[in-house]
């Protein structure tokens, strides 16, 4: 059974890890076997938007592209927020033709992301990557059927360990994003939080991967 890295920007081609590598429409490698693709709110370029959406639509139709993202909303950047929402919703609209999970970047925008999810009418799984908030926010997201992926902030913020411990096992993923620590370090820390073995943690995340990404068991 492999480790699953829900979100990474670095492809290592490790035999022991199934990596979902983040790619962008204008920075793309066809050599990566499992990836997500989307327009990050930081990188919105309205002049390229139609071309970017066309590329995303094309890639979503391939078996190697297993998710849309990372995409989402961020109130702490200087991109016009209404434009962020329009671009986010335009990407979600692509999933009405082919249903795949969504990997989300969300900063100070949880109510808005929940609203966009509801308004989209999609049945696709939505996963918040790099979750770092408190139990109240986690509960709000879980009630709306979101999945939560943990990585950097779980290692860095002692208070997040208790939040992670309370998340139902069937709703968690683990990731490295851009951190220097290895995925195995993330899994080891997460397993210790849950007071289980690393093999049990691998099985939990692997089962969630099979469910969310519709992998035949």
pLDDT digits (tens, 9 = 90+) for 180-209: 999 999 999 999 999 999 999 999 999 999
In this prediction, residue 207 carries a pLDDT of 97
- Rounded to 5 degrees, what angle do the CA atoms 38, 113, 191 make? 80
Domain count, the chain: 1
CATH number of the domain that 145 lies in? 3.20.20.140
* Range(s) of the domain holding residue 146: 3-212
Would you say residue 123 lies in a domain? yes
Residue 170 falls inside a structural domain: yes
> Does residue 30 belong to any structural domain of this protein?
yes
Please indicate, yes or no, if residue 42 is contained in any of the structural domains: yes
Q: Name the burial class of residue 148, with classes exposed (0-12), middle (13-18) and buried (19+) by CB atoms within 10 angstroms of its CB.
A: buried
Asked if residue 167 belongs to a domain, the reply is yes
Q: What is the pLDDT of residues 107-144, one digit of tens each?
A: 999 999 999 999 999 999 999 999 999 999 999 999 99
Q: Average of pLDDT values for 162-178? A: 98
Q: Hey, which residues does 19 pair with through a beta bridge? A: 5
Q: Using CB atoms within 10 A of its CB, is residue 24 exposed (0-12), middle (13-18) or buried (19+)?
A: middle
Binned at pLDDT 50, 70 and 90, residue 217 comes out as: low
Q: Is there a domain that residue 119 lies in?
A: yes
- Is position 217 within any domain? no
User: Which pTM value belongs to this model?
Assistant: 0.97
| Confidence (pLDDT) at 215 | 83
Please name every residue paired with 183 in a beta bridge, in sequence order, or none if there are none. none
DSSP string, 95-111: GGTS---EEEEEES-HH
Residue 75: count other Cβ atoms within 10 Å of its Cβ: 13
Q: How confident is the prediction for the chain on average, in pLDDT?
A: 97
């Amino acid at each position: 059974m492999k480790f699953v890295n829900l979100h990474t920007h670095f492809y290592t081609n490790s035999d022991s890890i199934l990596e979902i590598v983040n790619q962008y429409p204008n920075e793309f490698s066809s050599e990566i076997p499992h990836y997500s693709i989307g327009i990050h709110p930081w990188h919105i370029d309205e002049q390229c938007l139609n071309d970017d959406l066309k590329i995303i639509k094309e890639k979503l139709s391939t078996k190697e592209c297993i998710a849309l993202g990372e995409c989402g909303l961020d109130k702490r950047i200087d991109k016009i927020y209404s434009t962020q929402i329009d671009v986010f919703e335009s990407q979600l609209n692509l999933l009405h033709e082919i249903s795949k999970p969504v990997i989300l970047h969300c900063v100070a925008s949880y109510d808005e992301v929940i609203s966009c999810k509801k308004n989209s009418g999609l049945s696709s799984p939505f996963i918040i990557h790099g979750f770092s908030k408190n139990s109240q926010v986690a509960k709000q997201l879980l009630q709306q059927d979101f999945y939560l992926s943990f990585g950097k902030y779980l290692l860095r913020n002692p208070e997040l360990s208790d939040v992670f411990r309370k998340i139902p096992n069937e709703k968690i993923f683990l990731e490295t994003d851009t951190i220097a620590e290895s995925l195995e370090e993330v899994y080891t820390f997460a397993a210790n939080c849950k007071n289980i073995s690393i093999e049990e943690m691998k099985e939990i995340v692997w089962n969630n991967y099979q469910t969310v990404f519709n992998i035949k068991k």
